[in-house]
Structure 1
């Protein structure tokens, strides 16, 4: 006997899966914010100790440090949720790629440093949702 899901029984399953995806997405965003806030002083301390604190005054290194801090926080949550390294790497790429792509319009004078930070974060959130959309079962299982 084969069980086939009727449209009535599929709807609760979809809404439960959607809720899990949204909750997981929000968990990652919170983890990124915590990583950003918690790790930035560490960078300032370490770079300052080597006399290189001014590096963080430049837009590109600051954006990459920020993406690193957010990736570390997000990866810790993902590993705690038992995600594999591949999923962590894909999500990490979604964190860095928007900033790296936006360096080109920044260097061409088409984007301000503030614009890079704003649009880098907006595109990062979209890229993260895209990664989750590619493998919903990876992120809805938690």
Structure 2
């Protein structure tokens, strides 16, 4: 007689999924810390350029980690696009003078993380393993 434990299997999948999310966030933090010094400091003086530099740092490190974890190029590119999307949207009102640079940075980061989670949930089969 074989006994299966579907709850345990689901819990394990959820733990792996959450672990993937945490790993990507950790890679993004590492990217900000390690890659930021490589850019000219005057770029960070402009909020729009600073936001793009920061999201690039985060995306490069996250993408490298996703490739280490053997995610496809398509999933990696999709996640990178999700990370840039909030900033692409928020920079338009910033350039029109309707949003401050601080708001771009704060809202962009606040929105980025749930969008990443949504992308992972949409492609959850790719993130269970």
Cα deviation per residue 1:42-74 (whole Å; 9 max; x = unaligned)? 112xxxxxxxx5333111111111111001110
Q: Does 1:19 align with 2:15?
A: yes
Q: Which 5+ residue runs of structure 1 have no aligned equivalent?
A: 1-7, 45-52
Q: Does 1:61 align with 2:49?
A: yes
> Is the deviation greater in 21-30 or in 8-17?
8-17
**TM-score (normalizing by structure 2):** 0.91
Q: What's the C-alpha RMSD, in Å, of the aligned pairs?
A: 1.8
> What residue in structure 2 maps to residue 72 of structure 1?
60
Higher CA-based Rg: 1
| Number of corresponding residues | 128
Among 40, 46, 51, the residue aligned to 2:36: 40
Q: Deviation above 4 Å: which 4+ runs of structure 1?
A: none
Q: Does 1:110 align with 2:98?
A: yes
Deviation, 1:105, is: 2.6
Q: Does 1:140 align with 2:122?
A: no
Cα deviation per residue 1:31-51 (whole Å; 9 max; x = unaligned)? 00000110010112xxxxxxx
Q: Which 5+ residue runs of structure 2 have no aligned equivalent?
A: none
Among 107, 118, 122, the residue aligned to 1:130: 118
> What residue in structure 1 maps to residue 88 of structure 2?
100
**TM-score (normalizing by structure 1):** 0.83
> Is the deviation greater in 98-107 or in 18-27?
98-107
Among 3, 6, 12, the residue aligned to 1:10: 6
